[in-house]
């Protein structure tokens, strides 16, 4: 693990090739960057490798111009070919230990998790940040798991520490205060942006909740301290990012 994980705080907009969306991944990325998204992740489940690489190269150009980080989902080879900043690995992808050393020096690594066991395993892996979910119900992807909820998320942030934890699954702008109180460093969204009538405006709403691209989120992962009576967080001290804690059910 390196300190590169701090570069992946804030909003992650996942752009993908789901045929339900009106725009292709490149246009989705363009609009997300126009709204100020600090992290763009390309998730392609339907296209050929050649098409995905074309999209990745185009998105790399867009993100470089806007100053956003670019993450390639699943494929470290396409991440390298497109000069991405990071690769995000799911539980059925190659494990982080299989990434060649030279590739690892070039790429940050994110890791998807859904259970306490997967979070425990990620603690022993060479990854820079972890994603956890689905927090709420989602129709954008089928993770094979029920919605985890805020109490489980709060425990996940403690277990993931000191790595930043990014929440995913059915997240809308109105969820952000609760998510930040649960200790997340960032949130990842798909349909909230891809299906929006005004994606740029929706991205701005998310970004505004993460001052300084989420690195100093007021009332959130690094800005919220004190006691919480909210039963969703189990009562007692409000969770903070980076704390150790119990597993996630």
The string of pLDDT tens digits covering residues 33-56 is: 999 999 999 999 999 999 999 999
% the chain with pLDDT above 90? 78
pTM given for the model = 0.83
In terms of Cβ atoms closer than 10 Å to its own Cβ (0-12, 13-18, 19+), residue 248 is buried
Q: Tokens at residue 126, please? A: 């060479």
CATH node for 3-233: 3.20.20.70
Q: What is the dihedral of CA 234, 152, 137, 224, to 10 degrees?
A: 70
% the chain with pLDDT above 70? 80
Q: Tokens at residue 123, please? A: 């603690």
- Per-residue pLDDT reduced to its tens digit, 173-228: 999 999 999 999 999 999 999 999 999 999 999 999 885 644 443 333 222 222 33
Over 80: is that where the pLDDT of 60 sits?
Answer: yes
- Per-residue pLDDT reduced to its tens digit, 89-102: 999 999 999 999 99
How many CB atoms neighbour CB 173 within 10 A? 18
- DSSP 8-state assignment for residue 207: H
């Amino acid at each position: 693990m390196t300190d590169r994980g701090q570069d992946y705080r804030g909003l992650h907009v996942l752009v993908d090739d789901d045929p339900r969306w009106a725009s292709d991944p490149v246009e989705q990325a363009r609009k997300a960057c126009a709204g100020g998204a600090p992290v763009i992740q390309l998730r392609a489940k339907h296209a050929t490798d050649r098409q995905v690489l074309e999209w990745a190269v185009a998105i790399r150009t867009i993100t470089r111009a806007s100053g956003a980080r670019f993450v390639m989902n699943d494929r470290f080879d396409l991440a390298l070919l497109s000069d991405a900043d990071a690769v995000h690995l799911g539980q059925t992808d190659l494990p982080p230990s299989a990434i060649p050393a030279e590739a690892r020096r070039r790429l940050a690594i994110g890791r998807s998790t859904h259970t306490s066991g997967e979070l425990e395993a990620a603690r022993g892996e060479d990854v820079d940040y972890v994603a956890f979910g689905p927090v709420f119900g989602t129709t954008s992807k089928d993770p094979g798991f029920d919605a985890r909820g805020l109490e489980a998320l709060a425990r996940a942030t403690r277990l993931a520490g000191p790595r930043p934890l990014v929440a995913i699954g059915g997240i809308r702008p109105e969820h952000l205060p609760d998510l930040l109180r649960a200790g997340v460093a960032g949130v990842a969204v798909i349909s909230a942006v891809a299906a929006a009538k005004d994606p740029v405006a929706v991205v701005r709403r998310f970004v505004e909740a993460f001052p300084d691209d989420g690195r100093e989120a007021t009332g959130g992962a690094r800005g919220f301290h004190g006691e919480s009576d909210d039963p969703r967080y189990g009562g007692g001290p409000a969770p903070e990012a980076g704390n150790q804690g119990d597993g996630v059910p």
